[in-house]
Structure 1
Amino acid sequence: MALKAVHVSDVPCLDQVPENASLGLYSTRFSAGVDVGRSSFRIPKFLVIGHRGSGMNMLQSSDRRMKAIKENSILSFNTAAEFSVDFVEFDVQVTKDDIPVIFHDNFIFSEDNGVVYEKRVTELLLSDFLRYGPQREPGKVGKSMLRKTKDGRIVNWNVEADDCLCTLKEAFEKVEPSLGFNIELKFDDNIVYEQEYLTHVLQAMVEVVFQYAKDRPIIFSTFQPDAAQLVRKLQSSYPVFFLTNGGTEVYYDVRRNSLEEAVKLCLEGGLQGIVSQVKAVFRNPAAVTKIKESKLSLLTYGQLNNVAEAVYMQHLMGVEGVIVDLVKEITEAVSDLMKPSKEGDEESLPEGVGQMQVKSKPQFSQRELSFLLKLIPELIHS
């Protein structure tokens, strides 16, 4: 797709939300609601967010938990809802006939008579997309599904509990209604998108959210800088977070290459927060303070978030939530480590922990915490 500048100011606002739509991150899982206005946005508690539901599929992993349930599926979302997870994160793309569907990879692989072929998800009609994998109709067999791993191998997409591919509309209709949705607006890193295309597909996604979200908590997020600013222009009812590797990987678009650039983009576009690769935060802990001073919220993603100690360290640093694969383990760890403080106990809490009391936690002095924050970047770089 040809390069074309995106003039956000030229995009019409489509913010026509039903009266019962959620205007913040309020649900029965939270103690208080929030205002999504840029100047007052806040997250009321430390969030645990299920990555692609109850965890991503790593087919090359020896860890059975990474191959237990088909990622980005209704089954995976509702399994995550059985634990004290606040949101599920999932990836949304738009088919050729303008239907938002939930799928992570840009291409879907299959095999026919020994020949492997690939199709770009956004070039498929919905009916073609839904023909892959398990089928809804009893006795009907879908097309095989394979997946390309990071090392370039193509393997069978085998999991212990499989499920059908689904649309965004179906997720709203079939997933536990109190569970928040962190909707990642998915685009191909290798394509430079025209403004007209971005606006068109974002409208399709936003319209489904407006129609079906009701009181469900919603967060939009995306790695695509122009899409982040556009979806903020298209609606102002739900918070928009910019996803970034924070410099752990380098891209042609400099806006994607550091936490500093992420802050700049958020402030320019009126976004509410950043979702950073956790390694970027540990390598540059001072950035957390700058992000907070900019009145932006900060969430993280990455495999380190499957380690309870790393999650707790982020809580002490001021990170407001984590996207995790091991939903059961991390929600249990967070529940054990953090609970509302008892009345009268506030003065005994270590500085930086706020109104949270931690059970069976290491007790850090400010000097020790400062040392750890200096040590962590060296450990992450090594």
Structure 2
Amino acid sequence: MALKTIHALDVPNLDQVPENAALFSTVRFSSTGVEEGGGTRKEQKRGKLVVMGHRGSGMNSLQSSDRRMKSVKENSILAFNRAARLNLDYIEFDVQICMADWRVAIAKTPQVAGFSFLSFSFVLNMLGLGRNAGLGLLVTKDDCPVIFHDIHILTKDKGAFAEKRVTEITLEEFLSYGPQRDPGKVGKPMFRKAKDGSIDEWRVEYDDPLCTLEDILQKVDKSVGFNIEMKFDDSKIYEETELKRIIQVTLKIVNKYAEGRPIMFSSFQPDAAQLIRKLQDAFPVFFLTNGGCEIYADPRRNSLDEAVKLCREGGLDGIVSQVRAIFRNPAMVPKIKESELSLLTYGPLNNVPEAVYMQHLMGIEGVIVDFVQEIKEAVSDFTRPSNEEAEEENSSHGEGKGEKRGRVAVKFSDNELSFILKLIPELIQP
């Protein structure tokens, strides 16, 4: 890989990565995934740097001038299968639970003094007392895990924006947004609110309908692994019973349709991450953290040290950190490794090949990226055996020199690597 020179002034702040900057520990990652899916967790040999597609083939940024950020609809079957065709190791996506659909089956609805037992028995069934009351009414609840990043979903109705929480609408309503599978149906137009509060119509070059977890487990190429991020509202306090319900609904679908696919779970919600581990031991669980790049009310979310502590206490398999937190505090990498935890990263800087290469040198095991094709190609380039290594391998097999081509090795001395790691935090101070 030909690495270009980057001057300090070219990267003043990792919060502002130029759009044109880029033309595990207890669980070991390899080209075949972290595990065989649905079985007992296994330690595998450490392999190449794992590349994961962010929300499939990359997130959508509607305000970006880079067409790649508005190419394929994020978190869609189309995006996931495109990523699979690039031979990505994993795709990362977000799972939320749509509000339950209540299906009422009425055997009989007697009337007494003008009062319908339907309403009364419905309440009893909601409380779990209907069957004991002997009334002819059955109520079933169907929670459904759906694939969507934002907490709210937006449309426009009669000229005004209408915003709803994804977790407070039914599956039928959720699927009514955007393009429809049925060519005879017209979906509600979708909009997206940016961090600055501005709203843009969600237009991409290649659109695709919204989907459920069951959909993608059945319709996405089995060769690609899934990093399932359990999404929760940062502004909400969750009781353990609610977290447990959400996680169990998701696990039920995964266990039914995984069929050997490599799968891992991750979450920014500390209690949820630990609960996923308590409820199952078949799939690796990672804690997502900003590592102090943003501050939250829950101190467990505010540093890499806290992330390590949470993982060790909860028996988690690793950390997925904002890459800026790692570059600001590179000394945490060996500390995380000493704790027998895997380390992955996410963030805009992972779209820059040089930054990914530095992480490879530091021993980070995987990166979540938006520019999937570019980074996949770059990683394939700099993780190929060098000419020197290739010649050694050839000679061990009795082959002549030059019969197997490799990359030109890029090597740093210990002093050079130490200098670079000390320089990086200076470049990225806010």
Over 4 Å off, 4+ runs: 24-27, 31-43
**Alpha-carbon spacing, 1:253–1:323, altered in 2? closer, same or farther (3 Å):** same
Specify which of 313, 328, 339 is matched with residue 294 of structure 1: 339
Question: What is the Cα deviation at residue 25 of structure 1?
Answer: 7.7
Aligned residues of 2:350 and 2:356 also touching (Cα < 8 A): yes
Match of 1:108 in 2: 153
Contact 1:42 1:297 in 2 (8 A): no
* Match for residue 228 of structure 2 among 183, 207, 221: 183
Q: 1:40 to 1:335 in 2, by over 3 A?
A: closer
Whether the 8 Å contact between 2:36 and 2:261 is mirrored in structure 1 is: no
* Aligned-partner SS, 2:243: helix
User: Are positions 1:76 and 2:79 aligned together?
Assistant: yes
Amino acid in the other structure paired with 1:47: V
2:412 pairs with 340, 364, 370, which one?
Answer: 364
* Residue 85 (structure 1) shift: 1.1
For 1:332 and 1:166, the matched residues in 2 are separated by 29
CA distance in 1, matches of 2:261, 2:303: 32
Name structure 2 gaps, 5 residues minimum.
1-26, 101-142, 395-404
Say whether the 8 Å CA contact 1:38–1:272 is kept in structure 2: no
Instruction: Report how far residue 31 of structure 1 moved.
Output: 8.5
In the alignment, is residue 60 of structure 1 matched against residue 66 of structure 2?
no
- Is 1:218 paired with 2:266? no
Residue number in structure 2 paired with 1:96: 99
Contact 1:32–1:44 under 8 Å retained in 2: no
Deviation at 1:186, TM superposition (A): 0.3
User: In 2, Cα distance between the equivalents of 1:160 and 1:115?
Assistant: 25
Q: Taking structure 2 as the reference length, what is the TM-score of the superposition?
A: 0.77
Within 2, Cα distance between the matches of 1:54 and 1:299? 18
Distance in 2, matches of 1:174 and 1:25, equals 27
Paired positions, count: 348
* Native 8 Å contact 2:29 2:44 kept in 1: no
Kindly tell me: are residues 26 and 299 of structure 1, through their superposed partners in 2, closer, same or farther at Cα, counting changes over 3 Å?
closer
Out of 86, 90, 108, the position equivalent to 1:87 is 90
- Structure 1 residues 38 and 377 mapped into 2: Cα distance closer, same or farther (>3 Å)? farther
Moved more, 79-88 or 57-66: 79-88
Give me the whole-angstrom Cα distance separating, in 2, the residues matched to 1:177 and 1:243: 25
| Distance in 2 between residues matched to 1:256 and 1:276, nearest whole Å | 11
Pick one of 241, 260, 277 that aligns with 1:196: 241
Q: In the superposition, relative to structure 1, how do residues 43 and 112 fare at CA in structure 2: closer, same or farther (>3 Å)?
A: farther
Query: Does 2:130 align with 1:128?
Result: no
Distance of 1:173 and 1:240 partners within structure 2: 22
Identity in percent: 62
What is the deviation of 1:273? 0.2
Q: Aligned to 2:321, what secondary structure does the other structure show?
A: strand
* Aligned residue number for residue 112 of structure 2: none
Cα-to-partner distance string for 1:231-290 (whole Å, 9 max, x where unaligned)? 000100000000000000000000000000000000000000000000000000000000
Change (3 A) 1:38 1:218: closer
2:272 equivalent among 194, 206, 227: 227
TM-score by length of 1: 0.87
- Alignment match, 2:348: 303
What does residue 110 of structure 2 align with? none
Structure 2: which amino acid aligns with 1:116?
Answer: F
**1:351 corresponding residue in structure 2:** none
**Residues 329 and 136 of structure 1: CA distance in aligned 2, closer, same or farther (over 3 Å):** same
Q: Aligned AA for 2:50? A: L
Asked if residue 377 in structure 1 is aligned to residue 425 in structure 2, the reply is: yes
Question: Residues 32 and 138 of structure 1: is their aligned pair in 2 closer, same or farther, counting only changes over 3 Å?
Answer: closer
Give the Cα–Cα distance (whole angstroms) in 1 for the partners of residues 98 and 372 of structure 2.
30
Q: CA deviation at 1:134?
A: 0.3
1:33·1:44 contact (CA, 8 Å) conserved in 2? no
SS of 1:243's equivalent in the other structure is strand
Deviation at 1:39, TM superposition (A): 9.9
Contact 1:239–1:272 (Cα < 8 Å) also in 2: yes
The structure 2 residue matched to 1:46, chosen from 27, 46, 49, is 49
Shift of the alpha carbon at 1:194? 0.7
Q: CA deviation at 1:380?
A: 1.3
What is the aligned partner in structure 1 of residue 363 from structure 2?
318
Shift of the 335–365 alpha-carbon distance from structure 1 to 2, 3 Å rule, reads same
TM superposition shift of 1:363 = 2.2
Q: Distance in 2 between matches of 1:146 and 1:188?
A: 19
One-letter identity of the residue aligned with 2:383 = M
Q: Is the 8 A contact 1:34 1:44 kept in 2?
A: no
On the 8 A contact 2:179/2:207 being kept in 1, the answer is yes
Equivalent position SS for 1:339: coil
Q: Are 1:30 and 2:78 an aligned pair?
A: no
Root-mean-square deviation (Å): 2.2
Counterpart-to-counterpart distance in 2, 1:242 and 1:378: 27
Task: State which of 315, 330, 333 in structure 1 corresponds to 2:378.
Answer: 333
Which residue pairs with 2:315 in the alignment? 270
Q: Distance in 2 between matches of 1:284 and 1:25?
A: 23
Q: Distance in 1 between matches of 2:77 and 2:149?
A: 14
